[in-house]
Structure 1
Amino acid sequence: MGYAENAGTYWRGRYKSASGKLETVRDQITGKPVHFETRRDAKRAADRAEADDAEQAPQARNADTDRWMTFGAYARSWYARQDLAASTMQNYRRHIENHLLPTFEDSVMRAITAEDVDHWEKAERKAGYAEASIKTWRGTLHLLCEDAQTDGIVISNPATKRRGRGKRAGRGRTRRPEKVIANILNLILIAERASLLSGRDDEFVGLVVKGATGMRWGELVGLESLYVRPDSIRVEWQLYELDTGEFVRCPPKDDSYRTIDMPEFLACLIAEHINRVNPKSCKCHGRKYVFSGHRPANKAARAPGAKLVDVARLADVSTGTVSNVLNRPDSVPEPTRVRVMAAITELRYVRGGPPPGELAPHWRRSGFATWLFQPAATGWFPQAAPNPPRPVPVLGEPWPGVPARGRGASGRADACWLPIAAGLTPHGLRHSHKTEMDEMGVPAKLKDDRMGHADGSVGARYSHITAAMRQALCDGLTERWIAALHARRDLSPRSPVGVLDRLLRAL
């Protein structure tokens, strides 16, 4: 019998096919899962689909077809059957297209061996990819082959790795560097520099909110003004950025809905920010978000026609290579340039430009980290071909130095920034906040609640959060904030960043 599955804002019809695999009721024309408004409609549709499948199912599978099915053919059919969150579908597609198909696409599924998979893994490692990334890609390969085994395409899963086999002793080979963290004074200094780089106060407030609450990046970007309360922030949604540039509004990771208590200083800071910017409804979601982008909006992702990423896929190159062909053709080898131009002609790709005077509605993860956060934390701009990494040129007065802009900025600059926390990332601020709470002795139950983590142990079940715990946490954060502001004032009593200058003068 079929059944209805609750998908949040709609219902899906699910049933078992004749092969025993769980399927979703799909539209016969588009092939997309059908969204039902009521549970009853989804259940009825699932029952009908199960009955139709039983009548139309062949009595025996075509063994010859299965025996010679290639990895590429099965991977594409497997991906088309998935009905998951947009972020998960994007990740699966990236793993398959960029890392699995280049090696296994033309290989017969039954001919792929564990040795082939190990050779692929070694090649990925030799190419310089991180161990964590390789592990993730192998996990996708294992999942795909597991379903192929269920479908009878393969006899055994070649991606299965027996524990402790085929690896060196110890964990030194796969151990990653310790995550870089920052204290509250570091947070203030980095946020001040980021605000100077963007030319507005928003980045200072945003980074302080992230560092003092431990919010995930998507939760910060997707924070709506209606969920900011006088003494807390309610995490109900996040904005997930897809490769196409589109922002998908979805629940927080692992459904970690929660209320984050705010100390008085943070509540005043964010309330002042909201009153100053007076958020307007964005065109993409029609909702008022607390923070907005710092660069001109790029409407290319919403424009009709082929996108830059489509050209890159057809030409089998990266999006950066396509950009170089369009902007710096002399830096690209002739055969690659010809292939990219042919893809542009075939797809009729038309370049789009940013609309003048309009800022992007949301921060973009890569742009924010590359051109604001990393220069603020390290004092260096990243490599931008054909230019190598370079120090941020600044005018030394007023302290901590204002970035020099425009043509000849490096020649007019008389100083540069020293690194504050080299290797720190925006996500590292989440690690930093957790460490701050560890130092303050915050109870584990409250730390997990604030970070959006779940502890399923018996000990956690018998532990509870009280108002006194919450108040002690806010008091501890306030004490550290005031001490950090005093330390910042000792470096210089004023700041070119307006919101920080007001805080320093208030001391």
Structure 2
Amino acid sequence: MARRAQDIYLEWRGGTCRVKWWTGEYRDDGRKRFESKGGFLDEDEAFEYGQDQLHEIRHGTGISNRDSATLMSDWIDDWFSSTDHAYTTYKGYKSIINRHIRPYFKGKTVGEIDVITYRAFRKHIYRKLPSPASAANVMTVLGMILDDAVPRLIKVSPVERKRKRGKFVKKTQRERKRDMDIASIDQLARNAEVVFGYPGYVMIWTMAMTGMRPGELFGLPREYCYPNWPASDPRPDPDEEQRYQEDMLRYGKGEGLMPAIRVQQQVQQEKGNAVAEVPPKYYSYRTLVIPPFLADMLEKLLASHDNKWVFPAITGGCLKAAPFSRSYWFPMSQGSEERVRARGGTRPAIPAVPDFAGKRMYLIRHGHKAWLDEDGHPRFAVESRMGHEVPGVEGTYSSVTVAMERAIMEALQRRWERFASPGGVT
């Protein structure tokens, strides 16, 4: 030993100096656990390095060689098992990790992920994925994984957020939308009726008049739909008893009551064709008043079948388990030629709906919000109806009143009547 101090040892090996320092831990046999670093050519430099390590250990900022050598795959497992997410978030994160993050960093340690490695992955993922939004989701998950490794496994996260280097890249252009024409919704609904009967016709009008998400529509059970709800509410939560009673005084079928749908769940596809009934996105439980014309449609629809789902698939199961885009949405929106049904008979030709051909069904939800904005309803009432949280003081102090709901219901009814009346305009 060339030099020794309390908890620091120096030794020369092969022309270079190595420093050893106590990690503050003990082995199973009671001896102190040391770590070391070699390659120094100067004892003072090596000694100062050892002192720096002791200082970090005493102040809780030190990272042992053993921790920094943790494999990314092991840290990902620890991180993911410690998180608590809703079903849809859990499923999305798991897919991102297993398809993109885990394979890329296989064999690498957490300590090896520096800013250069992080940038290389970012460049890789943006080239690999066709959608910038999908790539951004992957980077968000990786960012959380690396941020949470501080200070246990790394001192500083390599994730870059504010300071940007490299060439300027314009933000992704927003999806171009057309104003939602009620005539297009009507044609879409008529196409849906050709594809899968009256449930399809009513489903399109329900989405246009409520802004429900597709998973919420597919997973709408009859007990949460007009005219059954709120009398048929299972009332699963004893803490919500006051709401249940207020719902009976506010919604339903009868004089002075407003027809409404209760969004209490959505469905997500699991392995195979199984579907899971899970809370709506962001736990956005809400009640949606509906115009009288839609209430009549829903009442007629539920009287026509005894299925669990308000909008069952052709086979009677849940639409979420069906190949919805290929077998339902594409013919409805893009049109299709006359063809023979699998069970005999022919299906008439379906005209394309230009406003929706080649676009997502989700745009009907966007169009519903635009209708509400056009009619001048209060922002809080609109955002609440869409299942969005309103931040700040506005979200804390505001509430959706009976008058606000009635105004929404009546405005949607007027929009329908202007369209449906002879010579009417949208």
Q: If the length of structure 2 is used for normalisation, what is the TM-score?
A: 0.70
Query: 1:405: how far off?
Result: 4.4
What are the residue-to-residue correspondences of 1:68-217 with 2, within 5 Å? 68-150=69-151, 152-158=152-158, 160-166=159-165, 168-169=167-168, 172-179=170-177, 182-198=180-196, 200-217=197-214
Structure 1 distance, partners of 2:119, 2:107, is 18
- Of the two, which has the highest radius of gyration? 2
Structure 2 distance, partners of 1:67, 1:263, is 61
Q: Is the 8 A contact 1:220 1:238 kept in 2?
A: yes
Q: Is the 8 A contact 1:181 1:429 kept in 2?
A: no
Any idea what the Cα deviations from partners look like across 1:210-241, whole Å, max 9, x if unmatched?
11101112221222212223311112222222
Answer yes or no: is 1:226 the counterpart of 2:223. Answer: yes
* Amino acid paired to 2:195: L
Structure 1 distance, partners of 2:350, 2:261, is 39
Structure 2 distance, partners of 1:257, 1:278, is 25
2:263 to 223, 232, 235: 235
Any idea what the Cα deviations from partners look like across 1:220-263, whole Å, max 9, x if unmatched?
12222122233111122222223554322222222222111111
What are the residue-to-residue correspondences of 1:422-461 with 2, within 5 Å? 422-461=357-396
* Amino acid paired to 1:378: Q
What are the residue-to-residue correspondences of 1:340-489 with 2, within 5 Å? 359=316, 361-364=317-320, 367-379=323-335, 392-394=336-338, 403-405=339-341, 417=352, 419-486=354-421
Query: 1:123: how far off?
Result: 1.9
Partner of 1:260: helix, strand, or coil? strand
Q: Is the 8 A contact 2:191 2:350 kept in 1?
A: no
Query: What corresponds to 2:290 in structure 1?
Result: 262
Answer yes or no: is 1:294 the counterpart of 2:291. Answer: no
Answer yes or no: is 1:250 the counterpart of 2:250. Answer: no
Q: Is the 8 A contact 2:219 2:267 kept in 1?
A: yes
Q: Is the 8 A contact 2:191 2:351 kept in 1?
A: no
Q: Is the 8 A contact 1:219 1:239 kept in 2?
A: yes
Structure 2 distance, partners of 1:423, 1:182, is 15
Query: 1:180: how far off?
Result: 5.4
Listed as ranges, the gaps of 5+ residues in structure 1 are: 1-60, 280-287, 296-358, 380-391, 395-402, 491-507
Query: 1:105: how far off?
Result: 1.5
Structure 2 distance, partners of 1:177, 1:469, is 30
Q: Is the 8 A contact 1:445 1:464 kept in 2?
A: yes
Structure 2 distance, partners of 1:238, 1:218, is 5
RMSD: 3.1
Any idea what the Cα deviations from partners look like across 1:79-130, whole Å, max 9, x if unmatched?
2333433322211111111111221112121111222222222222222431
Answer yes or no: is 1:271 the counterpart of 2:299. Answer: yes
Structure 2 distance, partners of 1:252, 1:278, is 24
* Amino acid paired to 1:205: V
Partner of 1:157: helix, strand, or coil? coil
Identity %: 26
* Amino acid paired to 1:242: E
Structure 1 distance, partners of 2:267, 2:348, is 38
Q: Is the 8 A contact 1:100 1:141 kept in 2?
A: yes
Structure 2 distance, partners of 1:488, 1:202, is 28
Any idea what the Cα deviations from partners look like across 1:39-77, whole Å, max 9, x if unmatched?
xxxxxxxxxxxxxxxxxxxxxx99454232221222123
Query: 1:422: how far off?
Result: 2.8
Once structures 1 and 2 are overlaid, which stretch shifts more, 267-276 or 123-132?
Answer: 123-132
Q: Is the 8 A contact 1:182 1:421 kept in 2?
A: no
For residues 484 and 251 of structure 1, do their structure 2 counterparts lie closer, same or farther at Cα, with a shift above 3 Å needed? same
Query: 1:404: how far off?
Result: 4.8
Query: 1:453: how far off?
Result: 1.5
Partner of 1:455: helix, strand, or coil? coil
For residues 84 and 421 of structure 1, do their structure 2 counterparts lie closer, same or farther at Cα, with a shift above 3 Å needed? closer
Q: If the length of structure 1 is used for normalisation, what is the TM-score?
A: 0.59
Give the count of matched residue pairs.
332
* Amino acid paired to 2:310: V
Structure 2 distance, partners of 1:72, 1:62, is 19
Structure 1 distance, partners of 2:324, 2:132, is 25
Query: 1:269: how far off?
Result: 0.5
Query: 1:175: how far off?
Result: 2.7
Once structures 1 and 2 are overlaid, which stretch shifts more, 258-267 or 237-246?
Answer: 237-246
Structure 1 distance, partners of 2:206, 2:187, is 14
Q: Is the 8 A contact 1:68 1:109 kept in 2?
A: yes
Structure 2 distance, partners of 1:257, 1:196, is 32
Structure 1 distance, partners of 2:349, 2:206, is 32
